[in-house]
Chains A and B, each alone.
Chain A
Amino acid sequence: MSIRDRVAALHAELAEAPEFPSQGATLFVDLERRETRTGYTPLPVVRTLLGGRGANMYYLHRLLDESLTPLHPDIPLIFGSGVLTGLVPSAARGNCTSWSPESGVLMDSNCGDYFPSFLRMNGYDHVVLYGRRPGWTMIVIRDGVVSFEDAAAYEGLDNIDLRARVQQDLGGVWTRNMAMVNITRAGERQVLTAGIMGGPKAIYARGGPGAKMGALGLKAIVTLAQTREFTTAQPYKPYNRHIAQKLLGTSVVKNALSKTGTPFLYKPSRVLGAMGTKNNQETTWTDALDAGNHDPYRDGMEGCFRCPVNCRPLNDLHSAEPDRYDKGDGPEYVTLGKFGPNLGIDDVKAVMRLNNICNDLGFDTASTGSAIGWAMELFQRGLITTADTGGLDLTWGNAAAVETLLFLMSRREGFGNVVADSARAVEKGHYPAEALKYRMTVKGLWQSDPHDARILKAFALGLAVATRGMDHLRNRVTLEINAKINDDAAFKAELYGGPVSAEPNSYVGKERAVRACENTYAVGDSVGMCRFTTKLFNSPSLPGMEEFRQQIENVTGLVFTPEALDRVGLNVMGVERLINYRLGVRRKDDTLPDRWFDEPNTFGPFKGEHIDRAEFDAMLSRFYQISELTSEGVPRDEWRGQLNAVLGG
């Protein structure tokens, strides 16, 4: 069945008008024929999965043809904004979903800035893209009207130049009435670590979405529209004030996120001995990269649409001979870790410069830093030499070589073509099979963050079971690093719905904490709430199920209890696991890199800690049990039947 037939069958089942106040349409875009059609996500789907990430899974489940390959134009690329995106403080987010060309499993990536909200201002909640015509296309959505533009003039432009040119050509104003998602040269060349840029730094990063968009010949989608009021079921702004107060009254937001941003986490991780260093061969690094050392270069803070937090640090390196990478947006903790300790770089200015280059070249810094770290370890071990790297000296800490490599990657030139194949470099014949021993991936995806999870067993389980691969943003029980919560057993049990060991390196009860986080975060993604400001991620007092429930009711009129929302979170994971099962994922894939089982941690209060295989396996079984999964990690029969009844097809 072709993608057009699949879309036609699905479209016939969609509602023709909004199912509830504030619902936007789903826009289907045939890029080859330059045709569009619209419909509305059916109410039973919304009641089961909400919108954003959740409803994206409905569309992917229905449109996926697993007999093809991820970059085939009949595999759709799906954007989706949450049911509260654009209406609630800090709900500025949306997801981008497909079959990952990087990992080979589910691709689902989240981004903020302005596009997810401005898409809704144009009347669309989801965009489903498929097909390809020769050359490059740009889609412009102006006050809800879709037009196709020839994007030949933008071919080869990276993020900085593209944003300048598009603004000049279309005449809008970023952050006021114009937003864009776009690929860079790396996306055009289908570099597997390429993301889809959603702003100067914001990016749909994980799983190679830039490569996927490049394979569709789509350079950018631009939205142009004034912000507007939504007709809602009930007044919702008074409760927005409550949410904003909750956000700004939380000390971690007030004192850390909105002042310095996420680099704050660098210090606790390195002091704990949990900072992935040199491709996780070591677990601590220099204090020279601590957040306090960013102060001289912090040039203000930025934020996403209507988010009062403004957590994104800007940088100005004040170089004597400044070039286009002397100023930028970031770095986040992930980038700091992946381009600092992970590559053996100890100079904060060097990391900031590499961050600014990645923002321009459109790279997922997690996968890009990891793929380079892997190459550096292979170089250290003599598995590759300068004969393979085209003369590049990949010694740890060589920031100049890393900079050169980034540009080579973005063009797929020389050794850059090898690293551009990311974790698939062995499969593509670039590295010997022995290199797989040092590849720090789960389900083919590099770890998203630099935290070495040999100590905190809840972190380890989360990375193993995350549906998109090795990623902390799906279920990280971050409060495991919080001593006061660990020491309050009753409070901790209430947070996670049952007892969870106080000891970070214990396996006891950790499955329960991961389950609670996974459900909460899946709902957060489906309403469009930022992870940083979602309960359980940074603080127990941030907005969670109760606040989501209240505001969903105010905005849409749909009534959920907190328990029902918890079930929605479980459902989202369930559908994701059904998709992954079709892509070949089984229990054996819910695991961790061998290094964490076999090599003990070498530094700090938990020196000697590693993951015990038997304990891990028992914890995974308990996780499957409470998650209503079969022994192969998919929803059990009865639940699967319920999901399939809603998903249809």
Chain B
Amino acid sequence: MILVHFPAMLHPVAGREQRVDEPVANVGELLAALERLVPGLGAALEDPVYNLAVNDDMLLHGVHAHPLSDGDVVEVIPTIAGG
């Protein structure tokens, strides 16, 4: 099982969190599974404003191939610049 937490701006689409029970080997498979669970969510997550952190480690590249294990916690984190 992978637990995915969403930021407030995605709550209307995804709720606060989703449990993905089907086996997924990496983030790419997780995103596909999320789209099956909540149609439209995969497309929403394609927006470049969202980064992913796996067990609190933020991924900055090689995202789709990043391996996942049962029990991992994934968090969707919006990123902007700022001043």
Contacts and interface: CB of A to CB of B under 8 A. Distances in A.
Interface string A107-133: 000000000000000000000000000
A487 B77 contact: no
B46, B49, B62, B77 — most chain A CB neighbours (10 Å): B49
Interface in A434-476: 448-449, 472-473, 476
18 contacts: A251-B47, A252-B80, A264-B78, A264-B79, A264-B80, A265-B82, A272-B58, A332-B82, A333-B83, A449-B82, A483-B60, A483-B63, A484-B48, A487-B61, A502-B61, A503-B60, A532-B82, A538-B81
Nearest to B53: A271
A206 to B, nearest CB: 11
Query: What bracket does the count of chain A residues touching chain B fall in?
Result: 35 or more
A292 B16 CA distance: 13
Interface of A: 251-252, 255-257, 259, 262-265, 267-268, 271-272, 292, 332-334, 448-449, 472-473, 476, 478, 480-487, 502-504, 531-532, 537-540, 604-605
A163 to B, nearest CB: 22
Contact of B83 (A255, A272, A334, A486): A334
Q: Which of B47, B49, B75, B82 has its CB near the most chain A CB atoms (within 10 A)?
A: B82
Q: Could you say which interface size class chain B belongs to? A: 20 to 34
A279 B12 CA distance: 39
A262 B79 CA distance: 10
B81 A478 contact: yes
Contacts of A334: 82-83
B64 interface: yes
Closest 9 CB pairs of A and B: A262-B82, A333-B82, A478-B81, A605-B57, A486-B61, A265-B82, A484-B48, A502-B61, A268-B79
Contacts of B51: 268, 481-483
B65 to A, nearest CB: 9
Contacts of B53: 271
Contacts, number: 103
A503 B60 CA distance: 7
A539 B80 CA distance: 8
A256 to B, nearest CB: 5
B48 A539 contact: yes
A255 B9 contact: yes
Contacts of B78: 252, 255-256, 264, 268
Given A256-B49, A484-B48, A487-B63, A537 B57 contact: no
Contacts of A448: 83
In this complex, the member of B8, B78, B79 whose beta carbon has the largest number of chain A beta carbons within 10 angstroms is: B79
B81 A476 contact: yes
A204 to B, nearest CB: 13
Given A473-B83, A537-B81, A487 B57 contact: no
Contact of A605 (B47, B58, B64, B81): B58
Contacts of A263: 82
B47 to A, nearest CB: 5
B77 to A, nearest CB: 5
